Amino acid sequence: MSIKIAISSGKGGTGKTFISTNISYVLSDMGENVTYLDCDVEEPNGHLFLKPDIYKTEEVNLLSPAAVDYDRCIKCGKCVRACTYNAIALVKEKFLFFKNLCHVCGACKIVCPENAIIDKDRKIGEIKHGKSKNIDFHYGLLETGEGGMTPRLIKKVKEYTGDNITILDSPPGTSCPVVETVKNADLCVLVTDPTPFGINDLKLAVDMCREMDKEPVIIVNRADYSNNELKKYCDEEKLEIIAEIPDERIIAECYSVGDMAVVEIEKYYSIFKEIALKMITLAEKKRKAVKKVAKKKAAPKKRKAAKKGKK
């Protein structure tokens, strides 16, 4: 049975890679066939910890509109009007193409009545394939200046999803790259920290998951609580906290030099093993997203009529 677990968060720096790499290592050590996909293609860093032996680099290209066949073109301007991203301009009967604005949606080719749009190969990044002991390791590396192509490259990385357990290390936030990473996952794990920023961005990530009909679970990293705001929010939203990782200096020291906590710190092997087993159990269940009850808006107060002054 294929299980896909996405490790995500509402913001960067919460510890997604810390969780996903250690979970991958423990599952592999338990004898599971594990595939690790680093979908944070703009800043992949899982390889710094799992240290895979890279055996292949694959270039990823897309056919992208790049020119016009002027022998066919009637200069009707339909392609310009169809482009939502203003990647094509018609200036003095000459067409200009702005590659970095183009999202390769194909609208210009669809509306062109003379089939005059010429496509050319466009490199959007590359995928590196490797092995970290028994872990199949794949990560994308986005080409500089190709930010709009991030979801396309993530989609290509996800083609290497394994047959057993796949851990997807997601980009931070709630934008298109995160949606592309999370959308087919059997379980979405949101990593947060008990800070005001962490709580605020967790709320956005939870809303994103539920809009996609996925009920997330929570891991609290650096769980040094100064108040109960995070737990209060999780209680109100009926969110399950499956683990709390303490804020310990020894973890930070281990992480800062690219070492694995489950290897270097004995007690964390059993902690992550328990978390991994919980994830597998939850991923095998069909969990329906909790529907948020809309809060009724308070009726506006009626203003008292001003008294007219006597003349």
pLDDT of residue 165: 96
* Rounded average pLDDT over 72-90: 94
Query: 90 pLDDT exceeds 70?
Result: yes
Q: What is the pTM of this model?
A: 0.88
- Strand ranges of the sheet holding 165-169, from the earlier edge strand across to the other edge: 53-68, 117-132, 135-142, 34-38, 165-169, 3-8, 187-192, 217-220, 240-244
The answer to whether residue 20 is domain-embedded is yes
In a domain, 259, yes or no: yes
Domain contains 97: yes
Residue range 285-296, pLDDT digits in tens: 877 788 765 555
Q: Are residues 8 and 118 in the same domain?
A: no
Mean pLDDT, rounded, of the chain = 91
Give the domain CATH number at 171: 3.40.50.300
Q: Is residue 151 part of a domain?
A: no
Higher pLDDT, 53 or 148: 53
Same domain, 261 and 209: yes
148 or 111, higher pLDDT:
111
Count how many domains the chain has: 2
Region 65-84: mean pLDDT is 94
Local confidence band at 301 (pLDDT 50, 70, 90 cut-offs) = low
Q: Which domain holds residue 235?
A: 1-33+163-289
Q: What is the pLDDT of residues 216-263, one digit of tens each?
A: 999 999 998 888 999 999 999 999 999 999 999 999 999 999 999 999
Does residue 28 sit in the same domain as residue 76?
Answer: no
Per-residue pLDDT reduced to its tens digit, 6-19: 999 999 889 999 99
Q: Please indicate, yes or no, whether residues 193 and 279 belong to a single structural domain of this protein.
A: yes
Domain at 85, CATH number: 3.30.70.20
The reply to whether 128 falls in a domain is no
DSSP string, the chain: --EEEEEE-SSTTSSHHHHHHHHHHHHHHTT--EEEEE--TTS--THHHH--EEEEEEEEEEEEEEEE-TTT-----HHHHH-TT--EEEETTEEEE-GGG-----HHHHH-TT--EEEEEEEEEEEEEEEETTEEEEEEEEPTT-GGGHHHHHHHHGGG--SSEEEEEPPSSSSHHHHHHHTT-SEEEEEE-SSHHHHHHHHHHHHHHHHTT---EEEESS---SSSHHHHHHHHTT-EEEEE----HHHHHHHHTT--HHHHSHHHHHHHHHHHHHHHHHHHS-PPPPPPPPPPPPPPPPPPPPPPPP-
Same domain flag for 96 and 180 = no
Q: Do residue 29 and residue 169 come from a single domain?
A: yes
Residue 187 within a domain: yes
Cβ atoms of residues 157 and 127 within 8 Å? yes
